[in-house]
Amino acid sequence: MGFTLGIESTAHTFSFGLCDSSGHPQPSVSSFIRPEEGGIHPREAADHHVENSGALLKELLDKNNLTPEDFTAVAFSQGPGLGPCLRIGAAVARTLSQEWKVPLVGVNHCVAHIEVGREVCGCSDPVLLYVSGGNTQIIARLGGRYRILGETLDIGIGNMLDKFAREQGIPFPGGPRVETLAQEWIDANPDSRLSDYELPYAVQGMDLAFSGLLTAARHMVLKGKPLGAVCWSVQEHSFAACVEVAERALAHTGKTEVLLGGGVACNQRLRDMCSMMAGERSAQSFVPEKMYCVDNGSMIAILGRLQLLYGEDTELRQSAINQHLRTNETPILWS
């Protein structure tokens, strides 16, 4: 087995990545669309992906000193995600697989976030707190599947941060800027109390919700509270809710590792809260480097390699994308 190419195109990011024959990844080569205003328009994102795919692939090959002959498989995100975006990745993957005469393998994007974390952090059987723009799920492996133990009932946490930020004039992606504003606020006002900036805390059983918090945060700014304070409160409330469900998942499953994944896992405050929670339970907390938290082609390559090794390739007629693919639909055959 040589290198596996991975193609990621579920939403705003188009990315090529790779892993070697033992599953070790190299940094991906990516481009993402920043909407001028409003959210991501799926068709505009798809156009961006088409326009950038050729140059990005060349950059990946050049950077790693590889030629097409070095690849023995092509993997792509089959879902979940935005239809027009997924279709571009799938089309590029089918073309390369035919050109290079190597097997094609369609993978589950959410499962890829788990497998890249396991690979680069060296954990074995974690509870995954998967926090991205479109997804917020608490996942654990039980009986040959990654089961969704809890998830958001409305919008993803990253989506909530991006929407809140956008309304305050902060361009996409808003999460990193919200983090900076929150940090600056608490550094300058270390005696701030959350009770002065209270927002809805929506944990329902093992599930979460963020749209009520978004509305309340919006009102808080309109009422004149400082933006930094509201950013801080938004983070404290929403992260605490996620970490609480992750902790409950550890307790229910008896697992002793918690792994963070998805773009929001870049946030240092969330990382700290997660490791504090793990520390209190004598569990271990793991977080991949930022480049493996955000959407990246290398995670698709890692999962594609595993699926080929333990299962089979994806025939052309089965390679259609599935916008609504669920984390627990993919059989997990490896240990």
**Dist. CA 261–CA 130, nearest whole Å:** 5
Q: Residue 267 binds which entry of ligand ATP, Fe ion, none, with Cβ cut-offs from 5 to 8 Å by kind?
A: ligand ATP
Q: What angle do CA 185, 163, 139 make, to 5 degrees?
A: 90
Asked if residue 226 has a cis previous peptide bond (ω within 30° of 0), the answer is no
Confirm or reject binding of residue 42 to ligand ATP (CB under 6 A).
Answer: no
Size of the site for Fe ion (CB under 5 A): 2
Site for ligand ATP in 197-256 (CB under 6 A): none
Which has the closest alpha carbon to 115: 102, 130, 137, 103? Answer: 130
Q: Pick the piece of the chain touching ligand ATP (CB under 6 A) from 57-65, 155-163, 302-310, 322-330.
A: 155-163
Q: What angle do CA 31, 160, 205 make, to 5 degrees?
A: 125
Site for Fe ion in 126-155 (CB under 5 A): 132
Q: Residue 134 binds which entry of Fe ion, ligand ATP, none, with Cβ cut-offs from 5 to 8 Å by kind?
A: ligand ATP
Select 71 or 210, whichever has its Cβ closest to ligand ATP.
210
Select 185 or 286, whichever has its Cβ closest to Fe ion.
286
DSSP-derived 3-state class of residue 72: strand
H or E stretch including 48?
helix 42-64
Q: Token match 């520390």: residue?
A: 279
Confirm or reject binding of residue 115 to Fe ion (CB under 5 A).
Answer: no
H or E stretch including 4?
strand 3-8
Among the listed residues 81, 89, 297, 304, the single contact to ligand ATP using CB under 6 A: 81
Which has the closest alpha carbon to 147: 334, 267, 326? Answer: 326
Among the listed residues 9, 15, 132, 328, the single contact to ligand ATP using CB under 6 A: 132
Select 71 or 130, whichever has its Cβ closest to ligand ATP.
130
The full 3-state SS of 169-215, as one line of letters, equals: CCCCCCHHHHHHHHHHHHHHCCCCCHHHHCCCCCEECCEECCHHHHH
Site for ligand ATP in 171-200 (CB under 6 A): 173-176, 179
Select 77 or 238, whichever has its Cβ closest to Fe ion.
77
Among the listed residues 28, 30, 137, 267, the single contact to ligand ATP using CB under 6 A: 267
Nearest-10 Cα torsion for 78, 136, 154, 146: 60
In angstroms, what is the minimal distance from the CB of 40 to ligand ATP? 8
Select 80 or 103, whichever has its Cβ closest to Fe ion.
80
- Tally helices (H) and strands (E) across the chain: 10, 12
Select 103 or 173, whichever has its Cβ closest to ligand ATP.
173
Among the listed residues 295, 302, 325, 327, the single contact to Fe ion using CB under 5 A: 295
DSSP-derived 3-state class of residue 264: helix
* Helices 109-121 and 297-310, packing angle to 10 deg: 90
Confirm or reject binding of residue 162 to Fe ion (CB under 5 A).
Answer: no
In angstroms, what is the minimal distance from the CB of 115 to ligand ATP? 14
Q: Residue 81 binds which entry of ligand ATP, Fe ion, none, with Cβ cut-offs from 5 to 8 Å by kind?
A: ligand ATP
In angstroms, what is the minimal distance from the CB of 294 to ligand ATP? 3
Among the listed residues 162, 236, 244, 247, the single contact to ligand ATP using CB under 6 A: 162
Tokens, residue 179: 């983090």
**Dist. CA 65–CA 58, nearest whole Å:** 10
Q: Token match 């996620």: residue?
A: 242
Q: Which residues bind Fe ion (CB under 5 A)?
A: 132, 295
